[in-house]
């Protein structure tokens, strides 16, 4: 899949840059909405289809994570070598259609299959979006651009929780899925007009290595290995947190779905926007400095968030739980631009989508596939003993994953910083090295 581009300058500027970033934020927001809708709709879906917590965990975990992460690799390769624009538009159309089909499900199996379909489409969104940024955004602004693109995740979470919760209480979970699926189709038409064709990579920057060899070489870089370890750990933190926070607040503290969507979703959106913007600016400054400590601040944010999340799971009041979840919401968002930016820093030109995809495999495979299932199984087991707050006990996996991710990011920061300090003074800040 390739584009031809008659324009002379490779970088967008002025209104074209604004339109590109606005379209990417919208697409990423819709992707996140379609991804997290089953989380806020979980109680309604569980009641309607007579599901257990374990099945909900499978639905929000394995049914999505396996396809999402594994298919991101070939789609990232297509974006790196061909047209990230075309890859992104096709993926948007696929996941929107499958989201709408999910609203017609009459059984666990059919709904699970539609979640597989959503995962197939969304697998190419972040790699192709990052490849577009790498080709169309000036290098000195890429951290901020990644932050803005990543801002679609908390915005989507906020809208998904708030609107999804309200629709679940009034119109039903099926209407929510169909409605947001249709919105994705309209966004695809808009993106087709707004995102211009991308310039081809210079031959010197093209990655001509076989796919597996290129991925293994990148994974062999010391800093990247620890980035991958941090990604695996954060997956066990974020996936169960978003999958079960709404059911936890509903069951343990008596909130309605609409109340959770408004309070939790609004805070998540605000902290996410603040975190991604500040994280993007922090990464740009760190990457251009000679110290190169691009992951130190996100790591510290994660280490602060872990004990706060633990306390939130056993707080006596609902508002206290939500307040103690806020540091985690901020840390998750603050990490995104630095984690992907650091991956691009190690990978170099022509491999940004591959680097993003490998990070997605690390953070999106084991944690999202197994984390919600583990939480569901622990919750079902604790509930069978007669203890209350069974989901609180299951969700203890969240602060453990967050703390381990913070430690791994500190080590990755040291490795990447040493690599940057050892580079020649005039060397490009984005260079591939093992």
3-state secondary structure 91-122: HHHHHHHHHHHHCCCCCHHHHHHHHHHHHHHH
As a whole number of angstroms, the distance between CA 248 and CA 69 comes to: 27
As a whole number of angstroms, the distance between CA 328 and CA 325 comes to: 5
Which domains does the chain carry?
A: 14-422 (1.20.1250.20)
Whether 211 shows a pLDDT value over 70: the answer reads no
* Pair 124, 87: CB distance under 8 Å: yes
Tens digits of per-residue pLDDT, 101-135? 988 888 888 888 888 888 888 888 888 988 888 88
Average pLDDT over residues 277-294: 83
Tens digits of per-residue pLDDT, 310-322? 999 999 888 899 9
pLDDT band for position 433 (50/70/90)? very low
pTM of the model: 0.71
């Amino acid at each position: 899949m390739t584009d031809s581009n008659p324009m002379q300058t490779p970088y967008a500027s002025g209104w074209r840059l604004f339109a590109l970033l606005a379209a990417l934020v919208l697409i990423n927001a819709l992707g996140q909405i379609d991804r997290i809708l089953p989380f806020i709709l979980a109680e309604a879906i569980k009641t309607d289809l007579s599901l257990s917590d374990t099945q909900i965990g499978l639905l929000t975990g394995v049914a999505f994570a396996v396809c999402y992460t594994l298919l991101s690799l070939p789609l990232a390769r297509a974006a790196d070598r061909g047209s990230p624009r075309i890859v992104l538009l096709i993926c948007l159309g696929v996941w929107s259609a499958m989201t709408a089909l999910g609203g017609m499900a009459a059984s666990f199996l059919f709904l699970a299959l539609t979640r597989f379909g959503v995962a197939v489409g969304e697998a190419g969104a972040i790699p192709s979006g990052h490849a577009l940024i790498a080709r169309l955004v000036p290098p000195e602004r890429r951290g901020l651009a990644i932050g803005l693109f990543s801002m679609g995740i908390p915005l989507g979470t906020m809208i998904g929780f708030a609107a999804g919760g309200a629709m679940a209480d009034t119109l039903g979970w099926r209407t929510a899925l169909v409605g947001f699926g249709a919105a994705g189709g309209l966004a695809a038409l808009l993106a087709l007009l707004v995102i211009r064709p991308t310039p081809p990579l210079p031959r010197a920057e093209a990655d001509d290595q076989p796919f597996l060899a290129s991925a293994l070489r990148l994974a062999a870089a010391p800093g990247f290995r620890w980035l991958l370890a941090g990604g695996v750990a954060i997956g066990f933190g974020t996936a169960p947190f978003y999958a079960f926070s709404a059911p936890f607040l509903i069951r343990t503290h008596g909130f309605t779905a609409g109340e959770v969507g408004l309070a939790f979703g609004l805070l998540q959106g605000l902290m996410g926007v603040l975190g991604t913007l500040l994280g993007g600016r922090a990464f740009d400054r760190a990457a251009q400095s000679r110290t190169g400590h691009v992951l130190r601040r996100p790591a510290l944010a994660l280490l602060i968030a872990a004990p706060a999340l633990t306390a939130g799971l056993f707080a006596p009041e609902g508002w206290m739980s939500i307040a103690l979840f806020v540091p985690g919401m901020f840390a998750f968002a603050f990490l995104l631009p630095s984690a992907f930016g650091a991956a691009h820093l190690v990978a170099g030109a022509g491999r940004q989508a591959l680097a993003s995809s490998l990070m997605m495999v690390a953070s999106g495979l084991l944690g999202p596939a197994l984390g919600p299932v583990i939480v569901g199984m622990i919750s079902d087991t604790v509930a069978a003993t007669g203890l209350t707050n069974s989901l609180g006990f299951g969700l203890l996996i969240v602060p453990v994953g967050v703390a381990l991710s913070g430690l791994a990011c500190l080590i990755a920061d040291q490795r990447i910083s040493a690599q940057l300090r050892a580079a020649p003074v005039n060397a490009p800040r984005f260079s591939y090295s093992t």
